[in-house]
Amino acid sequence: MSYYPRPIRFCNQCGHAVCHQLPGDGDARVRAVCPQCSHIQYQNPLNVVGTIPVADDGRILLCKRNIEPRFGTWTLPAGFMELDETLEQGAARETDEEAGADIELGRLFSVISVPPAAQVHLFFCARLRSLEFDPGFETQEARLFAPADIPWEELSFRTVSYTLRRFLENPQGTQVHCFSLE
């Protein structure tokens, strides 16, 4: 079953209409194949990268979304990775863009496959270097929450809830948490 909302219609090499078929090279998945130039196009999941920004006193930085989906709910700072950056660079950039937070990036904490959205979410631990924030246009408010005060019912995405719950179970742990949401 394909989870992609829009199938490829035209070849990205020559512009000809594609056919959806088995490529004939042993691949067992139906792909967008150009009958004109024989180019095979692949659809792959997008990486969403973000951080769990933590102040020295243990409070966690969350961002109130100012955009859809899930306008007005709380999330960890995260967004789509760009083509010219590493996972770490993307996570740091998104934290700066969404929260205006100065962080020291730590280790990879969670990797969550989200097949229905054709995404993989990756969150890194991060230490806040400053408690001053300058949220970008995608964020209504950036606020620190004590673990007991996290607005669990107002979190934007299951991946955020999963990541925060695992983090709070063992903030100093070294395990990378892997999970799949169907």
**149-163 tens-digit pLDDT:** 999 999 999 999 999
CA dihedral 115, 106, 129, 49 (to 10 degrees): -20
Task: Give pLDDT, residue 25.
Answer: 84
Q: What type of residue is 77?
A: P
Q: Shortest CA distance to 49 belongs to which of 130, 103, 129?
A: 103
Q: What is this structure's pTM?
A: 0.89
Q: Which CATH number characterizes residue 128's domain?
A: 3.90.79.10
**Does 52 share its domain with 17?**
no
**Does 20 share its domain with 87?**
no
**Does 18 share its domain with 102?**
no
* Average pLDDT of the residues in 17-39: 93
Task: Give pLDDT, residue 124.
Answer: 98
**Does 63 share its domain with 146?**
yes
pLDDT band at 4 (very low <50, low <70, confident <90, very high): low
